[in-house]
Amino acid sequence: MGALQAQSAFLGSADLELTQIWSQEPNGWTYPVAVSLPSGDMPDAGFPVCILLHGNGGNGPGMFGLGNNITEGHILVAPTGYLNSWNLCGENSEAPDIAMLSDLLVQLSGFDNVNANRIRLVGFSNGAGLVNQAFIELDEPGVDAFVAFVSQMNAPQFHQGAFYRPSGATNAPLDFCGYDVAVEPLLGRKYISICNHNDSVVPYAGGPAVGTFFPPAEVSIYGVALQQGHNGPTVSGEALGNLTLFRYLDDQVVLIRGNAQHGTDDEQLVQVAGLLAVDEEPENSDEAECPEDLSLDGLVAVDDVLILLGEFGCMVNCGPADLNVDGWVGVADVLAMLNVFGFPCPEAPSLPTVYEVPTFGVEVQAGLVYAEGLSHTSLNSPEAEVMALLLDAYVPQGAGGARPAMVLIHGGGFIGGGRQQPAIVNLAQDFASRGWVVFSIDYRLAGDLGTVPEAWVDSVNSNPLADAGNVAQAMAIYPAHRDAKAALRWVVANADAYDLDLDYLTVGGGSAGAITAIGCSVTEPEDYQFELSLEEDPTLASANLGVTYEVQTILDFWGSKVSADLVEGIFGSQTFDASDPSLFIAHGTEDLSVLFSEALALETIFQDLGLDYALNALVGEGHGPWEASLQGQSLFALAFDFVVEQQMLPVE
């Protein structure tokens, strides 16, 4: 690292020291690295860099031909892996190759002639597998493109709709080779996969190969697209000469299907070169957007400073307040805002407008299938039927685009009820008539005997205070939440069809529906999802796995935190934290079904976390008082005011 400190320009391999220590090399091993510098004048931002990763048995210098064919004017950096391979699963190498790449990126970013925002990773075969793992694990924003030649994601890296890294050393006999820690890859990077339908080494259609298992290439690219922000079904392939291109997110995620067996051809190289040449320099973000305008009113003013200060110190999921995108809200973000204080934004985004009184006619689209679930003849029995899970959509007619969304969940103690419960229908009609697109969902009840993880079964059965009725309800909580989360992912996946603005998503319900709304909003994406494998519950494949949602506001009508407590106690998951949505609570003080103390417990949690909430204590009311009022306002009106205030929606 001394060379880095002594000079400002990157001159060659002597400027790099890529040494790692691991069990095979306890005294350390240094990766050989070859470097090729471009000729010609250096761009103002420095030269972009292409890091080249060879296939199994290859070496770094052997990758220069590929690098020169797909990049122009790049510094080429080509390390050679330990035992001429990269550590993915069954290779002889156990080297920490991701750590090496992370170190390499840090070193390269320190040179004045390197464009630290234009570093590309390109790999072939085994090297493509390492590129795929780098896409999953590396969070350095300077890597703007990942190119994987002739290897889609393997099953350890991508399974059950999510991406994974190993928690320790990879080990082929372990489930998924030890890739057991779910990871959410960084957003906004270009990902290009080149796979051939006649590849006899890594099968395009998926299957076992090279000591592991591969999903189909088109399934792999769709999973990447969903994680990167695609909403909707798979795209159709576009024929281009001898190639077929599957393009997502304006060419940010692309699969190029060819017929070059386990290799490449000129047509593929031309396409990759074109994709990498797009937008060589980032657009001026000051002209493209106005991130400091947190209130979205077109001006950076006092209200924006107050919003920022309200998030000051946030270190998890800080959202727009993290202006410099460094993972937390601190002094640097305050200084960035003060630097533009008082300036108008070039273009303020339009917000969804909602209406004080019912304004629109409402079309009800009834009985839409959002996913499937198993219904067993007895608890977790091998005999099971597939149930269609349904929802109704309440769509305001003539309300325009960019609608806020609301998902409503009926009550019934996880034993009864349905999506057309009168109170839920009335609530859906009320909000839809004022501009929301509302979805009312069914979910599996206790009598449907949905699949329950064995750890959940054991925990519930071991409770000495539980009677048969309580056990049935507790068992039903798991499939109910699994289904409700699937419904939320369906809404995200179909946002374009309903012209939804998903920055304004509300989830609510009454009683068991409120419990589920809270549980779906404060637990992690993997909770109530990946405790079951696809083998145990094949219908998970219908549940839009890989799609994520973010709730902004919860409407809790006489609910509790019991489901969050269960998933935390049984699986050790983190539930309530400072990134949770704001919470509206309406609860009768004389409720004997769900005690008022449950509302007070939620109030305490939200107070301690510094989160926004409103507790509407309905004095003298019992369970389910939908017709109650407080200070002359109906519960619907109170909920409307809370959502509008929390989401800063314009009201007409």
Q: Which domains does the chain have, with CATH numbers?
A: 2-277 (3.40.50.1820), 289-339 (1.10.1330), 362-647 (3.40.50.1820)
| Burial class of 141 by CB neighbour count within 10 A (0 to 12, 13 to 18, 19+) | middle
Q: Is a pLDDT exceeding 80 seen at residue 562?
A: yes
Q: What is the mean pLDDT of the chain?
A: 91
**pLDDT over 90 at 59, yes or no:** yes
- When pLDDT is cut at 50, 70 and 90, the band that residue 317 belongs to is low
- H/E element, 394: strand 384-396
Using alpha carbons, list the distances in angstroms from residue 384 to 164, 444, 485, 543.
30, 13, 21, 18
295 against 82, higher pLDDT:
82
Residues 6+ apart with CB under 8 A from 170: 87, 88, 89, 94, 156, 177, 178, 179
pLDDT tens profile 205-219? 999 998 899 999 999
Q: Which of 423, 420, 543 is nearest to 484 (CA)?
A: 543
- Whether the per-residue pLDDT at 287 is higher than 60: the answer is no
* Choice between 77 and 468, residue whose per-residue pLDDT is larger: 77
At residue 2, the pLDDT reads 33
What mean pLDDT comes out for the span 53-67?
95
d(CA 427, CA 509): 10
- 323: closest CA among 331, 240, 34? 331
**Higher local confidence (pLDDT), 296 or 160:** 160
Per-residue pLDDT at 314: 81
Q: Using a cut of 0.85, tell me whether the model's pTM lies above it.
A: no
Quote the Cα angle for 230-136-10, to 5°.
Answer: 115
Residue 18: per-residue pLDDT:
97
Q: Is the pLDDT of residue 5 over 50?
A: no
Q: Is the pLDDT of residue 543 over 60?
A: yes
In terms of Cβ atoms closer than 10 Å to its own Cβ (0-12, 13-18, 19+), residue 208 is: exposed
Predicted pLDDT at 350: 66
Give the single-character DSSP code of 344.
B
